[in-house]
């Protein structure tokens, strides 16, 4: 499983990083949000699901 | 080889103002519209919006009452006809945001127009807003989300209507042919030049928050203040708008072709710099940021000279507080309180003062949070047994501070503050006998900037002779001085000024294109 952000419509509000600093990090160079885990560790899957639900603009996806 | 983009109207910036302009252009039937944005996403400073908007109802009583409050607020320095138009456009907000964009309103507060101007700051749900209408509190996950979502939906609607968006493509130059603006030059990320040919250009690129050098040059930041580093990106406790692309491109381009230059000011959210603790844009709305919560409280503030400088009731008015801090030596002030106050707040925040501190909330672990920051090298906060130690550590004039505290304590005891008229309920004595003294050094953090350009009542940008520049319009933070007064004194955090001027600029540019081409 991995997390994906749709950068076309992500508003870069940073809520995901504020709530889930173990999953996301703001990238000030590229003006985007970096997903921290290329492959999501199993123990973070529940948090990742919450992060998907918490995105203000529903632009985070959990994909296989 | 460069590219050419030929449109009827080009818009510089996709924040609240630029999107409002594009929206009206589409409504007015303008066919070819292009929006140029420096950032990779739309929204500008919208994530710095409050969780509400204010809208003046379209009734003669409400419109007149709002007009008069704003006219007085501007000290009759704004464009009075522009004020009436801004007020009128604000009455479109519920239709645009709630009906068309589907943003949900949790609570609507209906106001009696006779009461406009009586409420202040957070009592109306917005730290910097002006009390000129009904309040619509919006559903959202955090600060600014409702409005950020509104602008995302607006972009999608505009794209469907054929508006072209160019992201990471800032406009840097405005092209004038004779007296008319006929185009602009933008650059793609890889440096490719875009020759924009247009009949009208709307400049709505916001403040100069991302450009430290320009902020110094223009006097927004005092040159070389003692703690200058706190104004650098990433050095503040709370950066509501941490990834700014607002570099003053719009102002510079307009000045270059003879545009009128107006004052620029900082308008900010007072903060304690806290580099050791990672706190993001939404943190005040999350649990656990005790330092932020405390610095919102209306307790005693002094400057480096150890003197009070403001009615502390204004603590929930970010614009007022940050401007007052900026006026003090080295652009900061100090908040001082004692252990009794901390203990009282550990039972409950009794002030019922700041809207995001909900009833029943308690202060907890303040000293631990301070110690954690201090251990990481934070020099902007301290707690000691004595006032002497606090003054020495923070570099406050001790003799003055002791005199100020004695006077303040007397005011607290008598329930009357003859010097600053702070409400007696917010006066809490500061006593070493309580066991401990706390102090924060507070700056105008999380800053926004406003101003630089002037518009007339049609949102036409003015030249140095106060003449409108044909084909050139302005909107948003950069022109809000034209109705809030000079220098501007209302934060960009409100859509009231930015969206309205955007709507006006869109309508005016559409009319100009229709009538002249």
Dist. CA B317–CA B268, nearest whole Å: 10
Q: Measure the CA–CA gap between B213 and B247, rounded to whole angstroms.
A: 10
A6, A15, A23: best to mutate for the B interface, most B CBs within 10 A: A15
Q: What's the confidence (pLDDT) of residue B211?
A: 82
Contacts of B192 (CB under 8 A, 6+ apart): B2, B3
pLDDT for the residue numbered B238: 45
The per-residue pLDDT for B285 is: 40
Cα–Cα distance measured from residue B299 to residue B305, given in angstroms and rounded to the nearest whole number: 17
- DSSP codes of every residue in B216-243: HHTTSS-SS-TTGGGGSTT-SS--SSTT
Give the CA count within 13 Å in the CB-facing half-sphere of B93: 32
ipTM entry? 0.85
- Residue B199 pLDDT exceeds 70: yes
Q: Which residue segment(s) compose the domain that A45 sits in?
A: 2-63
CB atoms within 10 A of CB B506: 32
Q: CB atoms < 10 A from the CB of B365, how many? A: 12
pLDDT at B128: 59
Q: Which CATH class is domain B269-446?
A: alpha beta
B252 φ/ψ angles, rounded to the nearest 5 degrees? -65, -40
Chain A nearest CA to B42, separation (Å): 7
User: Which CATH number among 3.90.700.10, 3.50.50.60, 3.40.630.10, 1.10.10.10 corresponds to the domain B3-206+452-516?
Assistant: 3.50.50.60
- Contact between B142 and A10 using a beta-carbon 8 Å cutoff: no
Question: To the nearest whole percent, how much of chain B has pLDDT over 90?
Answer: 57
Instruction: Report the pLDDT averaged over residues B30-44.
Output: 93
B304 secondary structure, DSSP code? T
**Which of B145, B235, B277 is the mutation pick for testing A, counting most A CBs within 10 A?**
B145
User: Do residues A18 and B282 touch, judged by C-beta distance below 8 A?
Assistant: yes
pLDDT in tens, B221-279: 777 778 877 766 555 544 445 566 788 999 999 999 999 999 888 777 777 776 444 44
From residue B124, give the alpha-carbon distance in Å to each of B50, B52, B109, B354, B365.
11, 9, 9, 10, 29
Reference B15, options B3, B23, B4; nearest CA is B23
- What are the chain B neighbours of A57 within 8 Å (beta carbons)? 148-149, 152
Q: Which helix (H) or strand (E) holds B177?
A: strand B171-177
Cα B243 to Cα A11: distance, rounded to the nearest angstrom: 11
Residue B277: phi and psi, rounded to 5, are -120, 125
Q: Are B335 and B300 in contact (CB under 8 A)?
A: yes
Instruction: For residue range B44-64, list pLDDT tens digits in order.
Output: 887 777 778 889 999 999 999
| Lookup: tokens for B259 | 């545009």
Identify which of B445, B494, B474, B451 has the alpha carbon closest to the alpha carbon of residue B46: B494
CATH code of A39's domain: 3.30.70.20
Q: Strand ranges (DSSP E) for B350-453? A: 381-384, 437-451
- Closest alpha carbon to B274 in B361, B371, B387, B362: B371
pLDDT, residue B120, reads: 62
Q: How many CB atoms lie within 10 A of CB B157?
A: 16
pLDDT at B355: 56
User: In the Cβ-directed half-sphere of B235, how many Cα atoms lie within 13 Å?
Assistant: 13
For the segment B404-411, the average pLDDT, to the nearest whole number, is: 98
DSSP B204: -
Residue B172 CA to its chain's centroid (Å) = 24
**For the residues B353-380, what does the mean pLDDT come to?**
78
User: What is the per-residue pLDDT for B233?
Assistant: 58
Q: Does the structure show a pLDDT above 90 at B463?
A: yes
Task: Report residues of chain A scoring pLDDT below 50.
Answer: none
**Is there a contact between A12 and B243 (Cβ–Cβ < 8 Å)?**
yes
How far apart are the C-alpha atoms of A23 and B365, rounded to whole Å?
26
Q: What is the DSSP string of B238-302?
A: --SSTT----SHHHHHHHHTTBPP--EEEEEEEE---TTS---TTGGGSTT-HHHHHHTS---EE
- In angstroms, the CA B508 to CA B473 distance is 8
- Which stretches of chain B sit within 8 Å of chain A by CB? 39-43, 46-47, 140-142, 144-145, 148-149, 151-152, 156, 233-234, 242-243, 245, 278, 280-283, 286
Average pLDDT of chain B is: 87
Could you give the CA distance from residue B517 to residue B508 in angstroms, rounded to a whole number? 14
Angle, CA B91 vertex, CA B133 and CA B24 arms, to 5°: 145
Find the chain A residues whose C-beta atoms sit closer than 8 A to any C-beta of B: 7, 9-15, 17-19, 21, 26, 28, 31-32, 54, 56-57
How many C-beta atoms lie closer than 10 Å to residue B232's C-beta?
Answer: 10
- Tell me what pLDDT residue A56 has: 78
Contact B234 A12 (CB under 8 A): no
Contact A13 B283 (CB under 8 A): no
Indicate the burial class of B62 (C-beta count within 10 angstroms; 0-12, 13-18, 19 or more). buried
What SS3 string covers chain A?
CEEEECCCCCCCCCHHHHHCCCCEEEECCCCEEEECCCCCCHHHHHHHHHHHHHCCCCCEEEEC
**CB–CB contact B152 A9 (8 Å):** yes
Domain boundaries, chain B: 3-206+452-516, 269-446
Pick from B285, B289, B286: nearest CA to B370: B289
Q: B270: buried, middle or exposed (CB in 10 Å: 19+, 13-18, 0-12)?
A: buried
Report how many domains make up chain A: 1
Tell me the three state secondary structure of residue B442. strand
Confidence tier at B142 by pLDDT (50, 70, 90): low
> Which pLDDT band, with edges at 50, 70 and 90, does B129 fall under?
low
Q: Report the distance separating Cα B235 and Cα B273, nearest Å.
A: 6
Name the band, by pLDDT with cuts 50, 70 and 90, for residue B287.
very low
CA neighbor of B510 nearest in space, from B15, B1, B24: B24
Q: Are B292 and B263 in contact (CB under 8 A)?
A: no
Beta carbons within 10 angstroms of residue A61's beta carbon: 12
CB-CB under 8 Å, B148 with A14 = no
Phi first, then psi, for residue B343 (nearest 5°) are: -60, -40
Question: Who has greater pLDDT, B175 or B42?
Answer: B175
Separation in Å, CA of B224 to nearest CA in chain A = 25
């Amino acid at each position: 499983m991995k997390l994906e952000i749709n950068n076309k419509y992500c508003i870069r509000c940073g809520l995901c990083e504020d709530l889930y600093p173990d999953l996301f990090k703001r990238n000030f160079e590229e003006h985007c949000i970096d997903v921290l885990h290329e492959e999501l560790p199993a123990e973070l899957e529940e948090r990742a699901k919450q992060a998907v639900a918490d995105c203000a603009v529903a632009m985070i996806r959990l994909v296989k | 080889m460069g590219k050419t983009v030929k449109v009827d109207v080009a818009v510089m910036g996709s924040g609240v103002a630029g999107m409002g302009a594009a929206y009206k252009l589409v409504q007015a039937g303008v066919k070819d519209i292009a929006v140029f944005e420096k950032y990779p996403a739309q929204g500008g400073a919208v994530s710095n919006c409050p969780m509400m908007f204010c809208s003046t109802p379209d009734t003669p009583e409400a419109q007149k009452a709002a007009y008069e409050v704003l006219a007085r607020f501007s000290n009759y320095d704004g464009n009075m006809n522009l004020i009436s138009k801004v007020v009128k456009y604000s009455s479109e907000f519920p239709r645009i945001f709630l009906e068309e964009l589907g943003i949900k309103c949790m609570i609507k507060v209906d106001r009696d127009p006779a009461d406009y101007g009586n409420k202040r700051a957070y009592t109306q749900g917005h730290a910097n807003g002006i009390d000129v209408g009904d309040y619509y509190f919006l559903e959202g996950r955090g600060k600014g989300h409702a409005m950020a979502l509104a602008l995302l939906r607006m972009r999608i609607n505009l794209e469907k209507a054929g508006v072209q968006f160019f992201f990471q493509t800032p406009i840097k130059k405005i092209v004038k042919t004779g007296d008319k603006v006929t185009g602009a030059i933008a650059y793609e990320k890889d440096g490719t030049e875009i020759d924009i040919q247009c009949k009208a250009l709307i400049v709505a690129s916001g403040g100069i928050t991302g450009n430290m050098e320009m902020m110094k040059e223009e006097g927004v930041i005092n040159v070389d203040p003692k703690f200058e580093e706190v104004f650098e990106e990433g050095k503040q406790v709370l950066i509501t708008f941490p990834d700014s692309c607002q570099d003053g491109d719009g102002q510079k381009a307009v000045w270059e072709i003879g545009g009128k230059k107006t004052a620029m000011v900082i308008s900010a959210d007072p903060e304690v710099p806290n580099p050791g603790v990672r706190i993001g844009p939404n943190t005040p709305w999350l649990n656990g940021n005790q330092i932020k919560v405390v610095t919102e409280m209306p307790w005693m503030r002094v400057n480096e000279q150890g003197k009070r400088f403001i009615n502390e009731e204004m603590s929930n008015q970010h614009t007022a507080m940050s401007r007052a801090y900026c006026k003090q030596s080295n652009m900061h002030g100090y908040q001082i309180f004692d252990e009794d106050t901390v203990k009282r707040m550990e039972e409950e925040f009794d002030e019922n003062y700041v809207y995001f501190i909900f009833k029943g909330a308690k202060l907890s672990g303040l000293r631990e949070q301070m110690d954690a920051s201090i251990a990481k090298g934070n020099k902007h906060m301290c707690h000691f047994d004595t006032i002497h130690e606090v003054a020495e550590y923070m570099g406050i004039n001790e003799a003055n501070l002791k005199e100020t505290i004695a006077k303040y304590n007397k005011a607290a005891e008598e329930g009357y503050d003859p010097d600053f008229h702070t409400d007696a309920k917010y006066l809490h004595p500061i006593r070493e006998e309580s066991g401990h003294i706390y102090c924060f050094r507070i700056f105008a953090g999380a800053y926004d900037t406003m101003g630089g350009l002037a518009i007339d009542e049609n949102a036409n940008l003015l030249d140095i002779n106060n003449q409108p520049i044909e084909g050139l319009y302005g909107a948003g933070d950069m022109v809000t001085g034209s109705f809030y007064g000079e220098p501007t004194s209302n934060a960009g955090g409100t859509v009231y000024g930015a969206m309205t001027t955007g709507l006006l600029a869109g309508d005016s540019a559409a009319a100009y294109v229709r009538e002249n081409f």
